[in-house]
Structure 1
Amino acid sequence: MQTQHYPATDNFLEALLKSQYTKLGPIFADPEKYRLQVIYTRIDRDANQFPHFTDYHYGVSPDTYFYPASTVKLPAAALALEKLNDLQIPLLHRETPFFTAPLQGVNTGVQRDPTAPGGIPTIANYIKKIFLISDNDAYNRLYEWIGQQPFNTRLWEMGYKDIQVRHRVGLPLHEEANRWTNPVSFRQDGDIIYQQDARYSRLSFPQRADWAGNAYYNHRDQLEMRPMDFSFRNRLPLTDLHNLLRSIIFPEAVTISQRFRLTDSDYRFLYRCMSAYPTKEYKGYDPALHCQAYTKFLLFGGNRSSKIPDTVRIFNKPGWAYGFLTDTAYIVNLAEKTEFLLSASLFVNTSGILGDDHQAFEESGKPFLQTLGEIIYKAESERNRTVKPDLSRFNLSFDNA
């Protein structure tokens, strides 16, 4: 089955954003400085409820690098589930107890997870934490389960040739250390269901020259007076991120080669995790930090005071680090029958010193993404649809995801 979409168009999105020039503020006034990229997909259903897509781009270029930060956790979640399915081993599934052994000089092991039911780590709970609070360690454990080489070769096989997932996140490890992944095992009632030894990736990555900033704080919190080199860090172009989300939300509307090997149960599980809030599901959350909109930037800006209506669902994955802020989302209103895909990335650092970006994220980056989401949402809510979408599969209970 071929992807059903109309030719990519730019004029509508650019005209819409220009009409809201004042609301979008200084970031939209100087899009090159802020490396602004936006992809908006209009969705129209036919009489059989099959989705057809019209893609609109603003500022999107393969030459515009942004550090993807936690957005790499989106394909990690899908690939972790896919690997479980591919092995086809009885009793091996996302809820099977999953243990990580330490790897000297690389990463510690995990035998307990206080946020998981019974304190037992599982692939399922790591995925929940990835979407609820963007947990770094949860991603790192999935990276170790998948392996650096399979992680990349599978995405390249799916057509995402420009993606490079080269490292864990939140750990100051050199390139060589990130080629190694920890031994892992799945055990049930003392029996080993499956185990995987430490692995080494011999993958060769294409050379790059990606830089940002004028100075940066290194992992020792020391200021380095030179631009930061991202050439050996993760790379996930916005178009690929947007299409990865589309393939998860609408697997029936992409080619088989672009589709993850997931079950209906896997998709339902992902949808619940992606749209849930830490205030409802994560027992270890800090209510002073992890508000309902904590990871919901497009439309709600991660704002502590935001109250997301019960009829709205946001299936998304944001990322923020080193001045780069990104979010990719499928947004629906179950009552109004509104749906659209929206992805955006920008570089909010104005001081030139990377690693000192918190204020810029809060004062300019997140408010910009909120306003952008509001503009697109308003345009979509006012648009006439020949066929109202059936959104019942996205009307999910947040309990027991």
Structure 2
Amino acid sequence: MRSCLLFLLFYSHLFIVQAQSRTDTMLQNLLQREGSPALKHILQYPDSFRYQLIYTQIDRDADNTPHFKNYYLEVDANKYFNPASTVKLPIALLALEKLHELNIPRLTGNTPMLTDSAWRGQVKVYTDSTAQNGLPSIYHYIKQVFLISDNDAYNRLYEFVGQQRIHERLWAMGYKDVRIVRRFMPLTEEENRHTNPIRFVANGELIYEQPAAYDTLSFDYSRQVTIGVGYLDRDDKLVFLPMDFTRHNNLPLTGLQHMLQSVLFPASVPAKERFNLTKDDYRFLYRYMSQYPSETSWPKYDTTEYYNSFTKFFFFKDGKQNIPPYIRVFNKAGWSYGFLTDAAYVVDFKNSIEFMLTGNLYVNRDGILNDNKYEYEGDGYPFFKEVGEIIYKYELQRRRKYKPNLRNFSINYKE
């Protein structure tokens, strides 16, 4: 009797754990049918590669209003992945929101932003050599975040918004599981709670002064998250214990996909889930979410390092494939600790195709973290590229009742 009870308890627990992972047969069968042996190998081991995918079909009605249907593969909010630079998407949006809410005359995204310091680990930033006028600004930081995923630009935007404001706003919008508590700097948890004093100055005149801030919110760290078999500590010493991600940033894949949809198609989500952005904000975001490093003079990038597909994982990440001029990808990608993530909206203006793909993958064969020895090139980027190509080919033959009008996403990048 006791053995039977243990058996039932074990399989009940197994069912509950498995039930948390959402998979749609259509997407699963499509990738299995069209995938290469290398892709099928990864798909065979969801626990090892920790992959998750969301494929979003978009169909327009007679009024060109988009309608969305999500297909999931191994999507589970409890399957942790390090979101890396994808957290830069909500921070950029919140920075634009804050500018509007301050509503201060002459305070715009172009107003020079001077970052001071008032706590341990904080840095002062008064100049920006990549800007045409040599001065940092909100707009210029956002450009760098999307064009090359610049970490310093993210850090400055994080400090402008403030850690407490980040969470109060995102939680109120319904993103209850989002946690963005780290800059991309070697700071302690306490140091990350403190954000810098900032001044906005134009022609020597102080336009707005923001004092240093401290986050008093409490975060739920009750669910422990550990990954791997070992890691390198700050002194590059190997520690033979799993790396603890419990207090790291957290951004579930469904939340990331929804954020991207809310920016590209704000009318498709409830009002409370939209960011407070203007028409000009959207045009600005669309430009730099889809522009290539070679298409901008300020910042001016070395395109051998920052090639056109530098932040485009689906289709193009190998850097060698010529990107067709009629395709644009509006996205935010991230990579760190062996995790690769991309949230993308793909537009083919020639064939009148649009769809969204959001996914993540973990590639770390030896199980050691923080050693910069990950299989990004061998397994990671090819996975994203092939998945993107399979979905794209499927979309080419998928019948639509109404042809989409995509002019809202057509941008003259030479302006």
Q: Same fold (TM over 0.5)?
A: yes
Aligned partner of 1:28 in structure 2 is 43
Task: Give secondary structure in 1 for the equivalent of 2:354.
Answer: strand
Alpha-carbon offset, residue 103 of structure 1: 3.3
**Mapped pair 1:290 → 2:306:** yes
Task: Give secondary structure in 1 for the equivalent of 2:104.
Answer: coil
Residue number among 27, 42, 58 corresponding to 2:73 in the alignment: 58
Task: Give secondary structure in 2 for the equivalent of 1:26.
Answer: helix
Task: Give secondary structure in 1 for the equivalent of 2:334.
Answer: strand
**Distance in 2 (alpha carbons) for counterparts of 1:125 and 1:220:** 34
Aligned partner of 1:246 in structure 2 is 261
**Mapped pair 1:310 → 2:325:** yes
Task: Give secondary structure in 2 for the equivalent of 1:119.
Answer: coil
Is the 8 Å Cα contact of residues 328 and 347 (structure 2) preserved in structure 1?
A: yes
1:137-216 equivalent positions in 2, closer than 5 A: 137-169=152-184, 171-207=185-221, 208-216=223-231
Residue number among 87, 97, 102 corresponding to 2:102 in the alignment: 87
Task: Give secondary structure in 2 for the equivalent of 1:372.
Answer: helix
* Cα deviation code 1:317-342 (max 9, x no counterpart): 11110111100000010111100011
Size of the aligned set, in residue pairs, is: 391
Aligned partner of 2:404 in structure 1 is 389
Is the 8 Å Cα contact of residues 23 and 75 (structure 2) preserved in structure 1?
A: no
Residue number among 112, 116, 123 corresponding to 2:131 in the alignment: 116
Residue number among 338, 345, 360 corresponding to 1:345 in the alignment: 360
Percent identical pairs in the alignment equals 48
Alpha-carbon offset, residue 306 of structure 1: 1.9
User: What amino acid sits opposite 1:273 in the alignment?
Assistant: Y
Is the 8 Å Cα contact of residues 47 and 387 (structure 1) preserved in structure 2?
A: yes
Aligned partner of 1:4 in structure 2 is none
**Distance in 1 (alpha carbons) for counterparts of 2:312 and 2:23:** 26
**Distance in 1 (alpha carbons) for counterparts of 2:330 and 2:139:** 17
User: What amino acid sits opposite 2:210 in the alignment?
Assistant: Q
* Cα deviation code 1:46-92 (max 9, x no counterpart): 11111101110000011100000000000011110010011111111
**Distance in 1 (alpha carbons) for counterparts of 2:318 and 2:36:** 21
What 5-or-longer segments of structure 2 have no aligned partner?
A: 1-21
Alpha-carbon offset, residue 20 of structure 1: 2.3
RMSD: 1.4
- Over 3 Å counting, the alpha-carbon distance change for 1:21 and 1:32 in structure 2 is farther
TM-score norm. by structure 2 comes to 0.92
TM-score norm. by structure 1 comes to 0.95
**Mapped pair 1:270 → 2:291:** no
Is the 8 Å Cα contact of residues 23 and 73 (structure 2) preserved in structure 1?
A: no
- Over 3 Å counting, the alpha-carbon distance change for 1:183 and 1:399 in structure 2 is farther
What 5-or-longer segments of structure 1 have no aligned partner?
A: 1-7
**Distance in 2 (alpha carbons) for counterparts of 1:21 and 1:385:** 24
Aligned partner of 1:367 in structure 2 is 382
**Distance in 2 (alpha carbons) for counterparts of 1:399 and 1:140:** 29
Is the 8 Å Cα contact of residues 98 and 187 (structure 1) preserved in structure 2?
A: yes
Residue number among 2, 14, 30 corresponding to 1:16 in the alignment: 30
User: What amino acid sits opposite 1:135 in the alignment?
Assistant: D
Structure of higher CA gyration radius: 2
Aligned partner of 2:147 in structure 1 is 132
Alpha-carbon offset, residue 283 of structure 1: 3.6
Alpha-carbon offset, residue 185 of structure 1: 1.2
User: What amino acid sits opposite 2:314 in the alignment?
Assistant: L
Aligned partner of 2:9 in structure 1 is none
Task: Give secondary structure in 2 for the equivalent of 1:193.
Answer: strand
**Distance in 2 (alpha carbons) for counterparts of 1:358 and 1:260:** 38
Alpha-carbon offset, residue 17 of structure 1: 1.3
Alpha-carbon offset, residue 359 of structure 1: 4.7
